Structure 1
Amino acid sequence: MPFDNIQTSKLNSLEIYFSSVGFSESEVKSITQCFQKRTFDKGEFFVSEGSYTSEIGYLEFGQFQFYSTNQQGDERTNYISLPNTFVASLLSYLTEKPARENVKAINPSCLWVITKKDILSLQEEIASFKDFYIQLIEYQLCCIDKAKFDLITLTAEQRYKQLMQEEPEFLQQVPLQYIASMLGMTPRHLSRLRAKI
């Protein structure tokens, strides 16, 4: 097992994560050296709509809101990232086009950030990292596709029940106004739905 002889308390969350998914101690060192630790205050942006991004971040602590704004200036939350997940404005990152969404810290947060250039270098250096990266991107794309499909095909109540079953940590950790926006309903509607269920 990787890091058998090292106390996990001395490792940061990024090292623990890459060790847990099967990379060796030397590989973990090579990978984590490419990440830079970046802290965010509440309300600070990782990505702003219209900007270009070539970075992905691993969320050590905090939460990030993915949202877009309509012509009336109303925010619509697309997703909330929780700790121990990856954060990216994926379309901008993959296509090198301006971001169509904002990614903002909704409380004090910490990301370990890596650039696309370093990711490409790691894929050349570590064969298994390429497989890891492809699986990560495929998973993110599937999540986006599923969320869009659910928004079209499921009722508000069905989306809420699905969230309860598949991601109950959201209901425990994320403020209700963001959950309501993500599900496509008002906070008042969500409160009525929670009382009903």
Structure 2
Amino acid sequence: MIAAYFRSLRLFEEEEINQIVQLFEYRKLNKNDFFVKENQPCHEVAFIQSGIFRSYYSSTNKEDITYCFRFPNTWIAAYSSFITGGPSTETMQAITPAELWTIKKNTIDTLATNNLKWTKYLKMIAEEQYLELEKRVFQLQKETASQRYANLLKDHPEFIQQLPLQYLASYLGITQRHLSRIRSEISF
């Protein structure tokens, strides 16, 4: 699966892809296992082969605020920690059993030093992350909770039923009761 992802980019030659794939480590996580915890450094990034993750942080009153979900065929990392080497401000938890392909930061740094295609690839990833962050900010500022829910349903219909209601409500910035009303108004 990771090889197919790199092929889909049409950036690397087949021989390069075969070498890259060898640098990844396969890992299984159980439901509720953590990829990274708040206040711990993140020294790796992972490609999600299967499973769903939530990213959350603790508010000042110790409430968990879910701000992001990650689904199969996407990358996961505490990016600010990954870039700076400092402690993570977020926790990333598997909310279903998951299979990952992980790669260490020092390996990525070596690849980027030795292969200009990796520098181009890392730029692409950084741009995607920026666009995703911008989209999330605009969603929170411009859209209602119903619109955000409808978009999540449209973008990930195969996973929406697997998201626990308390995490989904937190992501939308509403109560579970309000979420129940929205779900009854919007059909699957």
* TM-score of the aligned structures, taking structure 2 as reference length: 0.89
Q: Which of 166, 170, 174 does residue 177 from structure 1 map onto?
A: 166
What CA distance in whole angstroms lies between the structure 2 residues aligned with 1:153 and 1:137? Answer: 24
Corresponding position: 1:17 with 2:14:
no
Deviation at 1:15, TM superposition (A): 1.3
Contact 2:45 2:102 in 1 (8 A): yes
Alpha carbons of structure 1 residues 144 and 170: separation in structure 2 relative to 1, 3 Å: farther
Deviation at 1:193, TM superposition (A): 1.1
Q: Which of 59, 62, 69 does residue 58 from structure 2 map onto?
A: 69
* TM-score of the aligned structures, taking structure 1 as reference length: 0.85
Corresponding position: 1:43 with 2:38:
no
Q: How does 1:160-175 map to 2 (within 5 A)?
A: 160-175=149-164
Spell out structure 1 runs of 4+ moving beyond 4 A.
Answer: none
Q: Which shifted more, 78-87 or 113-122?
A: 113-122
Contact 1:51 1:98 in 2 (8 A): yes
Deviation at 1:101, TM superposition (A): 0.6
What CA distance in whole angstroms lies between the structure 2 residues aligned with 1:84 and 1:116? Answer: 19
* Residue number in structure 2 paired with 1:190: 179
* Residue number in structure 1 paired with 2:116: 127
* Residue number in structure 2 paired with 1:4: none
Deviation at 1:17, TM superposition (A): 1.3
* Residue number in structure 1 paired with 2:101: 112
* Residue number in structure 2 paired with 1:152: 141
Unaligned ranges ≥5, structure 1: 1-12
Q: Deviations along 1:130-172, whole A, 9 cap, x unmatched?
A: 2122111210122122212321332222322333444444535
Q: How does 1:67-106 map to 2 (within 5 A)?
A: 67-106=56-95
Alpha carbons of structure 1 residues 107 and 164: separation in structure 2 relative to 1, 3 Å: closer
Contact 1:39 1:108 in 2 (8 A): yes
Specify the SS of the correspondent of 1:192: helix
Q: Identity of aligned pairs, percent?
A: 37
Contact 1:43 1:104 in 2 (8 A): yes
Q: Which shifted more, 142-151 or 105-114?
A: 142-151
Specify the SS of the correspondent of 2:38: coil
What CA distance in whole angstroms lies between the structure 1 residues aligned with 2:158 and 2:122? Answer: 25
Contact 2:95 2:163 in 1 (8 A): no
Alpha carbons of structure 1 residues 65 and 14: separation in structure 2 relative to 1, 3 Å: same
Q: Deviations along 1:53-84, whole A, 9 cap, x unmatched?
A: 12110001111110111233221111111111
What CA distance in whole angstroms lies between the structure 1 residues aligned with 2:97 and 2:159? Answer: 17
Specify the SS of the correspondent of 1:120: helix
Q: How does 1:133-144 map to 2 (within 5 A)?
A: 133-144=122-133
Unaligned ranges ≥5, structure 2: none
Specify the SS of the correspondent of 1:79: strand
